[in-house]
A = this chain, B = another copy of it.
């Protein structure tokens, strides 16, 4: 029955100390026990388990409300397994879309950079060429119109 400081938990979970305090404020975790004298947070191993799971979800861009749902499903166990799976699959689909978007963004940046590179070198032909590539990349970005 080990006791962990907020620093320990921060290091092991990858969440910052303010984030850990924040998660407690909004009752996503805890309430966490406190040291009588100092008022400092004292985490238990069970708290760490939960927090590590949340850290993974956060890393994949899951929002607070979905985290609450996740914890609730987890508490219900096998009974809510199908819902849990679907929640995770929906997130996976989201990430796939973002992945495609990132590719388009990268293309745009590279083309735009080479446009300014051509300008820097004073190469008018390369500049005109790069301009066309930028226009094409912007289309893929799907942002304008």
Contacts and interface: CB of A to CB of B under 8 A. Distances in A.
B144 A14 contact: yes
A61 interface: yes
Interface in A93-109: 95-96, 98-99, 102-103, 105-106, 108-109
Given A81-B120, A84-B116, A145 B59 contact: no
Give chain A's interface secondary structure class: helix
Given A56-B108, A143-B59, A113 B99 contact: no
A133 interface: no
Contact of A116 (B59, B88, B109, B112): B88
A143 B11 CA distance: 10
A68 interface: no
A110 interface: yes
B96 A106 contact: yes
A78 interface: yes
A128 to B, nearest CB: 15
Interface of A: 11-14, 52, 55-56, 59-61, 78, 81-82, 84-85, 88-89, 91-92, 95-96, 98-99, 102-103, 105-106, 108-110, 112-114, 116-117, 119-120, 122, 138, 141, 143-145
24 contacts: A11-B145, A12-B144, A13-B144, A14-B143, A56-B112, A56-B141, A56-B143, A59-B105, A59-B141, A59-B143, A60-B109, A81-B116, A82-B116, A82-B120, A84-B116, A85-B116, A85-B117, A85-B120, A89-B109, A89-B113, A92-B106, A92-B109, A95-B102, A95-B109
